[in-house]
A and B are shown apart, each in its own frame.
Chain A
Amino acid sequence: MGLDYQLVLWNKHKKTYDKVILIGMLLYIILFASITLVFNSETSIETLVIRAFGTLAILMLHIILIIGPMARLNTRFLPLLYNRRHLGVSMFIAALIHGGFSIFQFHALGDVNPIYSLFTSNMDYDSLTNFPFQVLGFFALLILFAMASTSHDFYLANLSAKIWKRLHMLVYIAYTLIIFHVFLGAFQQETSLFTIVAMCLGFLIITGLHIITGIKEVTIDKQQGTYGDPNWLKVCDIDEIEEDRAKIFTVNNERVAIFKYEDKLSAIHNVCKHQGGPLGEGKIIDGCITCPWHGYQYLPSNGQSPPPFTEKVAIYELKIIGSDVYIKPKALAEGTEVIPINISK
């Protein structure tokens, strides 16, 4: 995966996903525009475009942000996570239309450069009610642009997974900026109980979901193994692990996945090299550990992706005493060949 950098590696699911995105966006725009033109016909087209695409982008951002935590709480959400980046890029396009029209409408054709005007036309940075809300929207748009333009796997590989992930976590900052862009901007003048409640509800749901998921994950991490031998950590009983599946343990602050397959056990670092997916929540398919997020695969014996792919994950040594599984907490280098432990001797 990703060896040959095509723009999109299309498959049936991505096509369906994208069709739903397109239909959803068109439905929103057409509905918003029709209702406005029928019930509030004196609108101007520029205002209609700015509001329609701005509110659409916010709605899409909310949907995008709940996919992550929901996928952690219920694995049936994983198909939505699979192609989430297309949703993200589409949302950026909606936000760009909103931002572009707004910059032109409010700042262009004047006596100074529009971007300069964006920062200086309103200098009340020390006030809350008068705060230059457009600056918040501008920075959010920059973040979304950085994310959309690096959403391809090409950048993931070339920026390094760590930098890429940190860049894409800026979505949370973008989300916060957008909340304040709306509350200190549009809501100051277009004040309606319904829209305020809707935005507050969205904030509560997103924040609540993330916090609940965070607490659940912290609870998992707190489960400790026991040391008998200083070099080996006892983690579980063999029967706790399902066939062709894994169980995840926290070892030295990092999560490890122990897979059971064909009467053998192997242990690898839980984090997929692609986008950090939980390999331990994956499945063995055709003899390979398959990541539940995008289907990246690794051979259980050495943590390497099958050729022609080159990703590698760190691997751990295991030993079985009786029916207890022990792991050596210090990981071996990525791609090291480790003979899988046989369960029945």
Chain B
Amino acid sequence: MTSGLRKTHLIMWLMIAVISPIILIITIKNLNIFDSESVIVLSNTNQKKVLVEDDFFKISLDDLSENHSIEIIVKKPLKASETSVFSLNKKGEKDLFLGQITTTGVYTFKCNQVSGIAFFDTIKNEFITKYTF
């Protein structure tokens, strides 16, 4: 290196060594390093009989009052273009249409005796999943 190049190197690196840490510290201070994704808080279903619980759903029956309803808690976003909920008859076939499910959350559908529940994608005309009780 010539002396000129050495001098340029020195100036450049001094600038980098001084300015960069200042900006980096300001930037890092504002970052949310320990923020983790929160889990969905589930509603209190103590009085209901839990029929199914897995990673995606918690399905409970509420026929203690005159409600005759089924509660479906969707824990995670479903991977389907449309989600219709059907009850299953004793043969395990699609029976009554109960309603649609969209985002995660708690859904309550009126229904009487159920032998099972099916989640069906009407747009694609295919079953998503079925549960028999």
Interface residues of A (CB under 8 A from B): 128-129, 165-166, 169, 172-173, 175-176, 179-180, 183-184, 187-188, 191-193, 196, 200, 203, 207, 210-211, 214, 217-218, 221, 253-255, 271, 276, 278
Number of interface residues of B (CB under 8 A): 24
Indicate which residue in A166, A183, A207 contacts B27 across the interface (CB closer than 8 Å): A183
Question: Which residue from chain A places its CB closest to the CB of B6 in the assembled complex?
Answer: A217
Q: How far is the CA of A253 from the CA of B1 in the complex (A)?
A: 11
Chain B residues with CB under 8 A of A187: 27, 31
Once bound together, how far apart are the Cα atoms of A173 and B23, in whole Å?
15
* Interface: B13 (CB within 8 A): yes
Cα(A276)–Cα(B9), bound, Å:
14
Chain A residue at minimal CB-CB distance from B34: A193
Residues of B within 8 A of A255 (CB): 3
Of all chain A residues, which has the CB nearest B35? A191
Q: List 30 A-B contacts (CB under 8 A).
A: A128-B27, A129-B27, A129-B30, A165-B5, A169-B5, A172-B16, A175-B16, A179-B20, A180-B23, A183-B23, A184-B27, A187-B31, A188-B31, A191-B32, A191-B33, A196-B28, A200-B24, A203-B20, A203-B24, A207-B16, A207-B17, A207-B20, A211-B17, A218-B6, A218-B10, A254-B2, A271-B2, A276-B1, A276-B2, A276-B5
Q: How far is the CA of A74 from the CA of B31 in the complex (A)?
A: 39
- The minimal Cβ–Cβ distance linking B132 to chain A, given in whole angstroms, is 29
Enumerate the 4 nearest inter-chain pairs by beta-carbon distance, A residue then B residue, closest first: A253-B3, A183-B27, A210-B13, A191-B31
Q: Known contacts A169-B8, A203-B24: does B2 contact A193 (CB below 8 Å)?
A: no
CA distance A253 to B3 in the complex (A): 6
Determine whether the beta carbon of A192 is less than 8 Å from that of B33.
yes
Rounded to whole Å, the gap between the CB of B86 and the closest CB of chain A is 27
Residues 18-43 of chain B, each 1 if its beta carbon lies under 8 Å from chain A, else 0? 00100110111011111100000000
Given contacts A172-B16, A183-B23, 4 further A-B contacts (CB under 8 A): A179-B20, A180-B23, A211-B17, A276-B1
Which residues of B are found within 8 Å of A210, using beta-carbon distances?
Answer: 9, 13
Is residue B123 contacting chain A, with contact meaning CB distance below 8 A? no
- Asked if B64 is at the interface (CB within 8 A of a chain A CB), the reply is no
B12 to chain A, nearest CB (A): 5
Query: Are B28 and A214 in contact, with the CB atoms below 8 A?
Result: no
Residues from chain B with a CB closer than 8 A to the CB of A176 are 16, 20
**CB–CB B33/A193 < 8 A:** yes
Q: Which residues of B contact A175 (CB under 8 A)?
A: 16
Q: Tell me, in angstroms, the Cα distance from A16 to B33 when the chains sit together.
A: 42
Residues of A within 8 A of B35 (CB): 191
Query: Which residues of B sit under 8 angstroms from A254, Cβ to Cβ?
Result: 2-3
Closest-CB distance, A241 to chain B (whole angstroms): 21
Known: A188-B31, A191-B33. A169 touches B12 (CB 8 A): yes
Give complex CA distance A188, B32 in Å: 8
Nearest Cβ on chain B to A248's Cβ, whole angstroms: 12
Tell me, in angstroms, the Cα distance from A38 to B12 when the chains sit together: 43
In whole Å, how far is A147's beta carbon from the nearest beta carbon of chain B?
15
Given A179-B20, A200-B24, A253-B3: A214 and B33 interface contact (C-beta under 8 Å): no
- Kindly state the separation between the CA atoms of A176 and B28 in the bound complex, as whole angstroms: 16
List A contacts of B8 (CB < 8 A): 166, 169
Q: What CA separation (Å) do A129 and B30 show in the bound complex?
A: 8
Min distance, Cβ A94 to any Cβ of chain B, angstroms: 23
B16 neighbours in A (Cβ, 8 Å):
172, 175-176, 207
Min CB distance A48 to B, Å, is: 19
In Å, the complex CA distance between A263 and B2 comes to 29
Q: How far is the CB of A217 from chain B (nearest CB, A)?
A: 6
Are A214 and B20 in touch, CB under 8 angstroms? no
Nearest Cβ distance between residue B57 and chain A, in whole angstroms?
Answer: 19
Instruction: Report A-chain residues with C-beta under 8 Å of the C-beta of B10.
Output: 214, 218
Indicate which residue in A184, A191, A193, A211 contacts B13 across the interface (CB closer than 8 Å): A211
Q: Could you tell me the distance between the alpha carbons of A175 and B13 in the complex, rounded to whole angstroms?
A: 11
Residues of chain B contacted by A129 (CB below 8 angstroms): 27, 30
Q: How far is the CA of A271 from the CA of B33 in the complex (A)?
A: 48
Closest-CB distance, B35 to chain A (whole angstroms): 7
Assuming the A-B contacts A169-B12, A172-B12, A207-B13, are A183 and B28 also in contact, with contact meaning beta carbons closer than 8 angstroms in the complex?
Answer: yes
